[in-house]
Amino acid sequence: MSGGIAVETLSEAEARTELARLANEIARANTAYHGEDTPEISDADYDALKARNAAIEAAFPHLKRSDSPSEQVGASPSEAFSKVTHEQRMLSLGNAFDAGEVAEFNARIRRYLGLGPESPLTYTAEPKIDGLSLSLRYENGRLTQAATRGDGQVGENVTANARTIDDIPEEISDAPALLEVRGEVYMSHADFAALNVRQTERGAKTFANPRNAAAGSLRQLDATITQARPLRFFAYAWGALSEPLAETQMGAIDRLEALGFVTNDMTRLCDGPKEMLAHYETIEQARATLGYDIDGVVYKVNDLGLQARLGYRSTTPRWAVAHKFPAELAWTRLEAIDIQVGRTGALSPVARLAPVTVGGVVVSNATLHNEDYIAGRDNKGMEIRDGKDIRVGDWVQVYRAGDVIPKIADVDLAKRPEGAAPYEFPTVCPECGSDATREEGDAIRRCTGGLICPAQAVEKLKHFVSRAAFDIEGLGAKQVEMFHADDILPVREPADIFTLRARDAKNVAKLAKRDGWGETSAGNLFQAIEDKREIEMSRLLFALGIRHVGEIAAQDLARHYQSWEALTFALDTARPAALARRAADEAADAERRAAAEDGRRARVSEARARAFAARDVPDESAAVWDDLIAADGIGPVMALSLSDAFANPDERGAIERLVAELRSILPPETRADDSPVAGKTVVFTGSLEKMTRAEAKARAESLGAKVSGSVSAKTDLLVAGPGAGSKAVKAAELGIETIDEDGWLSLIGDA
209 near ligand IVH, rule: CB under 6 A: no
Interface residue with ligand IVH among 56, 96, 237, 570 (CB under 6 A) is 237
Task: Give the shortest CB-288-to-ligand IVH separation in angstroms.
Answer: 18
Q: Which of 129, 276, 453, 511 binds ligand IVH (CB under 6 A)?
A: 129
Interacting positions 157-196 with ligand IVH (CB under 6 A): 184
410 belongs to the binding site for ligand IVH (CB under 6 A)? no
Tell how strand 361-367 and strand 347-358 pair up: antiparallel
Does position 128 interact with ligand IVH (CB under 6 A)? The reply is yes
Number of residues that bind ligand IVH (CB under 6 A): 14
Closest alpha carbon to 161 in 222, 82, 83: 222
Which among 671, 689, 662 is positioned nearest to 743, based on CA atoms?
Answer: 689
Q: Of 298, 491, 553, 574, which one interacts with ligand IVH (CB under 6 A)?
A: 298
CA distance 156 to 541: 26
For residue 139, the minimal CB distance to ligand IVH (Å) is 22
Cα angle vertex 257, ends 255, 260, to 5°? 115
Supply the minimum distance, in Å, between the C-beta of residue 152 and ligand IVH: 9
> Of 298 and 683, which has the nearer Cβ to ligand IVH?
298
| One-letter identity of residue 566 | A
- Contact at 8 Å (CB) between 69 and 86? no
Q: Applying CB under 6 A, which of residues 10, 250, 256, 322 lies at the interface with ligand IVH? A: 322
Grouping H, G, I as helix, E, B as strand and the rest as coil, residue 128 is strand
Q: Is 304 near ligand IVH (CB under 6 A)?
A: no
Residue 608 as a binder of ligand IVH (CB under 6 A): the answer is no
Of 128 and 446, the one with the shorter C-beta distance to ligand IVH is 128
Q: Could you give the CA distance from residue 513 to residue 519 in angstroms, rounded to a whole number?
A: 8
Report in angstroms how near the CB of residue 133 gets to ligand IVH at its nearest. 3
If phi > 0 it is left, if psi is from -120 to 50 it is alpha, else beta; for residue 508 that is alpha
String of contacts with ligand IVH for each residue 448-467, x by CB under 6 A? --------------------
Contact mark string toward ligand IVH, 240..279, x via CB under 6 A: ----------------------------------------
350 vs 401, beta carbon nearer ligand IVH: 401
CA distance 724 to 746: 20
- CA 621-709-736 angle, to 5 degrees, is 95
Alpha-carbon gap, residue 511 to 486, rounded angstroms: 11
Q: Examine the residue annotation and report whether 300 is marked as an active-site residue of this protein.
A: no
Q: Does 369 bind ligand IVH (CB under 6 A)?
A: no
The residue annotated as part of the active site, out of 50, 64, 128, 680, is 128
Cβ proximity of 206 and 200 under 8 Å = yes
Q: For residue 741, give the 3-state DSSP assignment.
A: helix
Measured at CB, which residue is nearest to ligand IVH?
A: 133
Query: Binder to ligand IVH among 41, 91, 374, 444 (CB under 6 A)?
Result: 91
CB atoms closer than 10 angstroms to residue 339? 19
Cβ proximity of 404 and 383 under 8 Å: no
Q: Please, where are the H alpha helices in 188-299?
A: 189-201, 210-218, 223-228, 249-258, 273-286
Q: How far is CA 716 from the centre of its chain?
A: 34
CA 83 to chain centre: 17
Q: Which of 126, 459, 556, 627 binds ligand IVH (CB under 6 A)?
A: 126
Q: Return the range that interacts with ligand IVH (CB under 6 A); candidates 126-134, 565-573, 694-702, 724-732.
A: 126-134
Pairing of strands 320-324, 95-96: parallel
Q: Which one-letter DSSP state was computed for residue 95?
A: E
Q: Give yes or no for residue 93 binding ligand IVH (CB under 6 A).
A: yes
Minimum distance between the CB of residue 91 and ligand IVH, rounded to whole angstroms? 4
User: Taking contact as CB under 6 A, which single stretch among the options 59-67, 86-94, 189-197, 446-454 is the one that binds ligand IVH?
Assistant: 86-94
Whose Cβ is closer to ligand IVH: residue 268's or residue 592's? 268
Q: Does 309 bind ligand IVH (CB under 6 A)?
A: no
R_g of the chain, CA atoms, integer Å: 29
| Single-letter code of the amino acid located at 212 | N
Residues that bind ligand IVH (CB under 6 A): 91-93, 126, 128-129, 133, 184, 236-237, 298, 317, 320, 322
Catalytic residues: 128
